[in-house]
Amino acid sequence: MLNLKGPTKILLIYTGGTIGMVKDYDSGTLKAFNFKKLLKSIPELNQLGCSIETTSFDRPIDSSNMNPGHWTEIANIIESQYEAHDGFVVLHGSDTMSYSASALSFMLENLAKPVIFTGSQLPIGDLRTDAKENLITSIQIAALRDKGGPVIQEVGLYFEYKLFRANRTTKITAEHFKAFQSLNYPTLAESGVHLKVFNENLLVSKHKRPLIVHKKLDNHVAILKFFPGLNEELLTTVLRTPGLKALILETYGAGNAPTDDWLGAQLSKAIESGLHIVSVTQCPGGGVIMGQYETSAHLQKMQVINGKDITTEAAITKLMYLLGSGVSHKSFKTVFETPLRGEMT
């Protein structure tokens, strides 16, 4: 525990990822290392003027190993520490950070404090690391207060000088420091010479309601990306997956899909037998506009759910959350098409 004097209390939750990794020189691979050492390597944290406590997964993981059980673990930590802290920073591998952060945005209903996800492309000990700036500014953002209350009251993702709404982000590069983008929603804050917050883009909880933590997530879901040449056997196999409750179709452009008879027949049969099918665009920006082209009118007619401008990461986690929450079959489409945490326009 690192205890710095100051009024704002931040909890740092370390789950793993490059930010806390070191190189194993025998094998040449990156491995998680002791979190306490990570903090010792950033003495600058002492200058932030807030009190920082830390907690860590027992076994920090590469985020490729993340699953809904880990999301519940993060949610449990936030729930048990919610009253005792003013803000939370979650250190997480960048590979699946947008999924985890989107999931947490749905799990934490009535959130009124900042939960900022961050990580890095290079380990903290690396000479050219991006970890220090990401970590320090994330803590600063989580500690921002105005009129006695937190400025950020939602799940954010901070990376390379920008704070985004987490459930609007996607990892776009494994090479550059600017690893994330939010093409369908503007930046929440930007760090330059000054730390600028764009208040007009923030989610603000109007009603002060107690935090509700939803821990039931149902992963009987799948994603199928359309590609020219997708054959009937593949679609049939996916649709016949035992226990499948919801399927995301990554459609082309503004939500377009082939108009082959077999495809329409298979999809409408699946919907009639109770499967929820959501259309999201496979384009990084923009969204589904059902019925704009003939190639989406058939999906609209068979009551495919309109994913609008939601990211695939937010769509899959929203499905797990809604299925886990027991939303009725009748209202499922309407609820999915309604923005719950600012995840769609």
**Binding of residue 100 to ligand ASP (CB under 6 A):** no
Q: Give the three-class secondary structure for 47.
A: helix
Report the distance separating Cα 96 and Cα 273, nearest Å.
32
- In the annotation, is 295 catalytic? no
- Residue placing its CB nearer to ligand ASP in the complex, 17 or 287: 17
What does the DSSP assignment read for 112-163?
Answer: -S-EEEE--SS-TTSTT-SHHHHHHHHHHHHH-EETTEES--SEEEEETTEE
- Residue placing its CB nearer to ligand ASP in the complex, 98 or 256: 98
Amino acid of residue 44: E
Selected from 94, 137, 170, 251, the binder of ligand ASP by CB under 6 A is 94
**Binding of residue 18 to ligand ASP (CB under 6 A):** yes
Selected from 10, 13, 17, 152, the binder of ligand ASP by CB under 6 A is 17
Place of tokens 């909880």: 205
Residues 6+ apart with CB under 8 A from 245: 218, 220, 221, 274, 275, 276, 323
- Find the helix or strand (DSSP H, E) in which 272 lies: helix 261-272
Report the distance separating Cα 278 and Cα 334, nearest Å.
12
Choosing from 18, 72, 169, 281, the catalytic residue is: 18
Whole-number Cα distances in Å, 35 to 12, 21, 22: 10, 9, 11
**Alpha-carbon torsion, ordered 9, 210, 312, 335, to 10 deg:** -170
- Find the helix or strand (DSSP H, E) in which 149 lies: strand 149-150
Selected from 86, 95, 130, 313, the binder of ligand ASP by CB under 6 A is 95
Minimal distance, residue 19 CB to ligand ASP, in Å: 6
- Residue placing its CB nearer to ligand ASP in the complex, 17 or 87: 17
**Binding of residue 20 to ligand ASP (CB under 6 A):** no
- Residue placing its CB nearer to ligand ASP in the complex, 18 or 72: 18
Minimal distance, residue 313 CB to ligand ASP, in Å: 14
- Residue placing its CB nearer to ligand ASP in the complex, 41 or 295: 41
Site string for ligand ASP, 107-136 (x = CB under 6 A): ------------x-x---------------
φ/ψ (deg, to 5) at 330: -65, -40
Site string for ligand ASP, 46-85 (x = CB under 6 A): ----------------xxx---------------------
- Residue 313, token pair as written in the block: 């990461």
Q: Which residues have a catalytic role annotated?
A: 18
Binding stretches for ligand ASP (CB under 6 A)? 16-18, 62-64, 93-95, 119, 121
